[in-house]
Amino acid sequence: MSGIDDCLTQAMAIHGAIGASLIDHTTGFAVGAVGRAPTDDPDATWAGTAEIVNVAVTGAPFASARPGDRVEDVIITTLDGYHLIQQVHTVFDSRLVLYLWLDRAQGNLAMARRQLRQLADGLSGAQATPMAVVAARASAAVPVTSAGR
Amino acid sequence: MKTARTGRAVPPRRTLTQLAGAGETGALYVEGEPGGVVYLTDGWVSYVESPASPGVGDLLTTSGRLPEIVWAAAVASGEDVGPLLVAQGHLTQGELELCTLGAIYDAAFFVLSPAPARVRFEAGERHRLGPVCQVDAAVLGRELTRRRKLLDDVHPSSDVDTGRLSATPRAPTPRLVVTAPQWELIVHCDGRRTATDLARLLGRSGYTTLLELRRLAAASLVVAAPPDEEPKAVGRAAVTTEADAAEKPQARASRDKAPTAKRTASSRRAVAAAPNGRPAQTDARLPRRTPGQQQSGPDPPPAFRDELDEALLNRIRSGLEAL
């Protein structure tokens, strides 16, 4: 569908986007980056992003026991902005995340998240599976409601 | 034009910087262990390959993303493989770029190691993958330095990088958490494979394999034997007979990655080729060795099997006496 540069350009077109990059989360290296980074030292930003992803992916509290489950994205909200980190799932071995920094006043978190997911899927050649996502959410919601009664 | 620089060993990264600065196009061959080739296009790095890391083709086929036949056909076509696969609809442009970039950085880590090596530059030579993406040689160099430091931060010893790896038989703590890639590695550490073997077998990037192995070594879950040392047969009796000498090539043959049929054939020939040893002893041991030959793992130490038989016989005897 689209190459890395197209993908990042489209990410920057998301309403309220300040910066976007594609980061290798094993090494904290940015394969591609456009726009601004939250700090003066972009390398530190990317290394920090990689660290957060690794904690989420390997950390026991988030490692679901359900087979086939995996971390899809990590979202950090600050008073000033949203930081969206979305995993890019390729069939072959690559450990990449798409990172988007969004202005809090202008950006819409839910919309941006959807758009970023589509970009990540387009990049990795995966078919977007909205039904599977809905089903997973529905099943996750069941225990909560039953516990409430 | 052909520039031969085989004379003396230089740090390959310095040569690359010079060639990149001059805007050269061609292939920089780096000799040594593991060595490899860096392809330049107008001074930009367009592809790197090394025997120590899986290339684009390995990554795509081992993971099952592309059937091997599709890859082989694209290579055989003689056109630029990458753009051809995208044009034919087998891959998306994004996938091709991600895969190629990953392979470039991965192979460069091994090819452009700090150790001086003999290098040679073939001007004008291009890689069959074709134009996919280009990497700045200076950026590549900086990233490699960072990656090397990351490895040492995880675990300062480089034993696991080259040694034969085995998983520790007992876990060092009563409870442990391993990630999926780590589990994959532990399961395949069989005392014979090296980090390179594992990366190629599993279609995983060579660098991330090293990184995970260093983490596992730091957690005492994986240990490495020096690269040249053959796995030892423990408790072997000191009799070095001709039969022993005949057994060694056989054991080595069974350790090869050749297809099973070929392996059995060659090991059988090795047994038959020990005619003038001690026929009686060889014959007596043959039936017991047969099951070991069919296993892919190392033969269990013969002494252990002898002990087992003796214990069994003792138990039968005492059982009979008790009657």
Q: In B, which residues are within 8 Å of A57 by CB distance?
A: 179
Q: In A, which residues are within 8 Å of B63 by CB distance?
A: 91-93
Q: Is A77 on the interface with B (CB under 8 A)?
A: no
Locus of tokens 């050749």: B258
- Claim to verify: residue B144 and residue B36 sit in the same structural domain: yes
Mean pLDDT of B208-223: 91
Peptide bond preceding B34 in cis form (omega within 30 of 0): yes
pLDDT, residue A133, reads: 40
- Claim to verify: residue B258 and residue B163 sit in the same structural domain: no
- Predicted confidence (pLDDT) at residue A116 exceeds the cutoff of 90: yes
- Predicted confidence (pLDDT) at residue B280 exceeds the cutoff of 80: no
pLDDT, residue B170, reads: 86
Q: Is residue B45 part of a domain?
A: yes
The residue ranking higher by pLDDT, A53 or B313, is A53
Q: In A, which residues are within 8 Å of B93 by CB distance?
A: 1-3
Q: Is residue B236 part of a domain?
A: no
CA nearest to A55 within chain B: B179
Contact B179 A58 (CB under 8 A): yes
pLDDT, residue B246, reads: 43
Domain, as residue range, for B17: 2-149
Q: In B, which residues are within 8 Å of A3 by CB distance?
A: 93-94, 97
pLDDT in tens, A77-107: 999 999 999 999 888 878 899 999 999 999 9
- Predicted confidence (pLDDT) at residue A131 exceeds the cutoff of 50: no
Helix (H, G, I), strand (E, B) or coil at B26: strand
Q: A29: distance to nearest CA of chain B, Å?
A: 7
Burial B37-64 (b: 16+ CB within 10 A, else e): bbbbbebbbbbbbbebbbbbbbbbbbbe
Which of A115-129, B135-149, B248-262 comes out lowest in average pLDDT? Answer: B248-262
Q: Is B159 on the interface with A (CB under 8 A)?
A: no
- Predicted confidence (pLDDT) at residue B294 exceeds the cutoff of 60: no
Q: Is A119 on the interface with B (CB under 8 A)?
A: no
β-strands B164-167, B36-41 pairing: unpaired
For an interface test with A, the pick among B60, B68, B97, B213 (most A C-beta atoms closer than 10 Å) comes out as B97
Q: How confident is the model at residue B187 (pLDDT cuts 50, 70, 90)?
A: very high
DSSP 8-state secondary structure symbol assigned to residue A62: G
B306 closest CA partner among B244, B236, B219: B236
- Beta-carbon contacts of residue B133 (< 8 Å; ≥ 6 apart): A4, B46, B97, B100, B101, B104
- Claim to verify: residue B80 and residue B183 sit in the same structural domain: no
Q: Residue B303 CA to chain centroid, in angstroms?
A: 31
Q: Which of A4, A24, A91 sits opposite B65 (nearest CB)?
A: A91
Q: Which of the residue ranges A52-66, B23-37, B243-257 has the most confident prediction, judged by mean pLDDT?
A: B23-37
Burial A45-82 (b: 16+ CB within 10 A, else e): bbbebbebbeebbbeeeeeeeeeeeebebbeeeeeebb
Q: A69: distance to nearest CA of chain B, Å?
A: 12
Contact B63 A93 (CB under 8 A): yes
Q: Is residue B133 part of a domain?
A: yes
With a pLDDT cut of 70, the percent of chain B lying above it is 72
β-strands B36-41, B44-49 pairing: antiparallel
Please report which helix (H) or strand (E) contains residue A75, including its range. strand A73-77
Q: In B, which residues are within 8 Å of A29 by CB distance?
A: 105, 143, 146-147
How far apart are the two ends of chain A, measured CA to CA in Å? 47
Q: Is residue B86 part of a domain?
A: yes
Q: Is A30 on the interface with B (CB under 8 A)?
A: no
Tell me phi and psi for residue A16, to 5 degrees: 90, 5
Q: Is residue B97 part of a domain?
A: yes
The residue ranking higher by pLDDT, B138 or A144, is B138
How far apart are alpha carbons B313 and B323 in whole angstroms? 16
Tell me if A19 sits within 8 A of A36, measured CB to CB. Answer: yes
Sheet holding A81-88, edge to edge: A29-35, A17-24, A96-103, A81-88, A73-77
Contact A124 B98 (CB under 8 A): yes
- Claim to verify: residue B41 and residue B165 sit in the same structural domain: no
pLDDT in tens, B34-81: 889 999 999 999 999 999 899 999 889 988 889 999 999 999 988 899
Q: Is residue B323 part of a domain?
A: no
DSSP H helices, chain B, are 12-21, 56-62, 68-76, 81-87, 93-111, 137-154, 159-162, 180-188, 195-202, 206-218, 242-255, 260-272, 279-294, 302-322
Q: Which of A60, A63, A94 sits opposite B98 (nearest CB)?
A: A94
Q: Which of B146, B203, B207 sits opposite A92 (nearest CB)?
A: B203
How far apart are alpha carbons A49 and A85 in whole angstroms? 8
Q: How many domains does chain B have?
A: 3
Q: Is B176 on the interface with A (CB under 8 A)?
A: no
How far apart are alpha carbons A14 and B292 in whole angstroms? 62
pLDDT in tens, B269-278: 433 344 444 4
User: What amino acid is encoded at B249 in this protein?
Assistant: P
B245 closest CA partner among B289, B288, B275, B287: B275
pLDDT in tens, B105-162: 999 999 998 888 899 999 988 898 988 988 999 999 999 999 999 899 988 888 888 8
- Claim to verify: residue B111 and residue B145 sit in the same structural domain: yes
pLDDT in tens, B311-323: 777 878 888 887 7
Answer with the one of B149, B168, B188 that is the final residue of a domain: B149
Q: Is A92 on the interface with B (CB under 8 A)?
A: yes
- Claim to verify: residue B119 and residue B19 sit in the same structural domain: yes
Across chain A, how many H-helices and E-strands are there? 4, 5
- Predicted confidence (pLDDT) at residue B259 exceeds the cutoff of 50: no
Contact A31 B101 (CB under 8 A): yes
Tell me if A112 sits within 8 A of A14, measured CB to CB. Answer: yes
- Beta-carbon contacts of residue B279 (< 8 Å; ≥ 6 apart): none
Q: How confident is the model at residue A56 (pLDDT cuts 50, 70, 90)?
A: confident
For an interface test with B, the pick among A31, A93, A96, A119 (most B C-beta atoms closer than 10 Å) comes out as A93
Q: Is residue B190 part of a domain?
A: yes
CATH of the domain spanning A4-148: 3.30.450.30
- Claim to verify: residue B145 and residue B186 sit in the same structural domain: no
pLDDT in tens, B296-311: 444 545 455 555 567 7
Q: Is residue B281 part of a domain?
A: yes
Please report which helix (H) or strand (E) contains residue A116, including its range. helix A109-124
Partner residues linked to A69 by β-bridges: none
- Beta-carbon contacts of residue B238 (< 8 Å; ≥ 6 apart): none
- Claim to verify: residue B91 and residue B40 sit in the same structural domain: yes
Residue B130 backbone zone (phi > 0: left; psi -120 to 50: alpha; other: beta)? left
